[in-house]
């Protein structure tokens, strides 16, 4: 006959009530956890954050480089942000590959924009250099043409000035179509009532012949010549009562001729040479000059 075990030595059967179990021990296999569900696992304080600064900087700098490069006058400012965008973008892509950054697309966009900014900036530089070179060539061409024109103008003026200096007996045609000839002065004897002639001076007579070669009548507005002696001093006009002097005045019809005669008094020492200055319109036309030695 078996003896039953004492009550205190009996082992519990079935599911333990947990009164004698270590509360910190893990539950036995297959046992369901008792109590509320555990809280979610939280990353400990100080965990590394994504390093996205390089990608953001690359994108901003790349965009800035493209904007600056788009303006011709500011292209020279675009290279610095564009280069920095390439550098920062490369670093951002490298960090994304290592898993320490999460904005690889932003870094790649910064690299592309930086390259585009450099490309546009380089194209703008080439365009500016070509434009400046053409402008310089154009300016040089204009300077050469201006110099050539000025030189030609000086030569033309010199030729015109030379053409307006003639010897007695030669003919000069003015722009209004009047052809003027000043003959060689001849001696003139004033009468006793002459004015402008001093005793001992030498009086000469100057003849001016005007022919209208144009198709319209032309008015002679200043038909009085100016005579200088050999010393360059103006000779004095002689007026007497002989009626031999004739002043050019009025209109000269086409194909017609008008002749004027004037007397001048020259000092004896300066009577060896004379110059006659004449213009049919002193206000509009340059004077022509006739000169030469005087006979005895």
Q: How many CA atoms lie within 13 A of 219 on its CB side?
A: 4
Residue by residue, pLDDT tens for the chain (296 residues) are 444 555 544 444 544 454 455 555 556 665 555 555 555 544 455 556 888 899 899 899 999 989 988 887 787 888 899 999 999 999 999 999 998 989 999 999 999 999 999 999 888 889 889 999 999 999 999 999 999 999 998 998 899 889 999 999 999 999 999 999 999 999 999 988 889 888 889 999 999 999 999 999 999 987 689 999 888 888 999 998 888 889 998 999 999 999 999 999 998 888 789 999 999 998 899 999 999 998 65
Rounded-to-10 torsion of CA 254, 255, 257, 258: 0
Burial (0-12, 13-18, 19+ Cβ within 10 Å), 88 = buried
Chain position carrying tokens 């009626």: 243
Which residue segments constitute the domains of the chain, with CATH numbers given? 53-133 (no CATH), 166-293 (2.60.40.1240)
Look at residue 114 and give its three-state secondary structure. helix
Least Cα distance to 261 among 272, 248, 270, 252 occurs for 248
Three-class SS state of 125: helix
């Amino acid at each position: 006959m078996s003896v039953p075990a004492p009550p205190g030595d009996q082992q519990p059967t079935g599911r333990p009530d947990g009164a004698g179990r270590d509360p910190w021990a893990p539950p036995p296999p297959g046992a369901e956890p008792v109590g509320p569900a555990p809280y979610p696992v939280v990353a400990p304080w100080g965990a590394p954050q994504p390093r996205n600064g390089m990608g953001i900087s690359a994108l901003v700098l790349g965009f800035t480089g493209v904007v600056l490069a788009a303006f011709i006058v500011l292209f020279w400012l675009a290279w610095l942000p564009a280069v920095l965008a390439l550098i920062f973008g490369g670093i951002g892509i490298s960090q994304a590959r290592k898993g320490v950054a999460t904005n690889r697309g932003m870094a790649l966009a910064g690299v592309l924009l930086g390259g585009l900014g450099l490309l546009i900036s380089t194209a703008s530089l080439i365009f500016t250099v070509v434009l400046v070179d053409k402008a310089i060539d154009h300016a040089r061409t204009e300077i050469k043409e201006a110099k050539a024109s000025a030189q030609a103008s000086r030569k033309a003026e010199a030729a015109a000035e030379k053409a307006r200096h003639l010897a007695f007996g030669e003919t000069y045609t003015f722009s209004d179509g009047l052809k003027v000839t000043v003959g060689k002065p001849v001696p003139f004897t004033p009468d006793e009532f002459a004015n402008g002639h001093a005793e001992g001076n030498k009086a000469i007579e100057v003849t001016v012949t005007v022919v209208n070669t144009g198709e319209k009548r032309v008015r002679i507005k200043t038909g009085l010549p100016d005579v200088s002696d050999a010393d360059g001093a103006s000779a004095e006009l002689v007026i007497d009562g002989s009626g031999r002097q004739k002043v050019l005045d009025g209109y000269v019809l086409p194909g017609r001729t008008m002749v004027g005669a004037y007397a001048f008094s020259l000092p004896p020492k300066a009577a060896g040479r004379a110059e006659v200055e004449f213009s049919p319109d002193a206000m509009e036309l340059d004077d022509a000059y006739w000169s030469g030695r005087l006979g005895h």
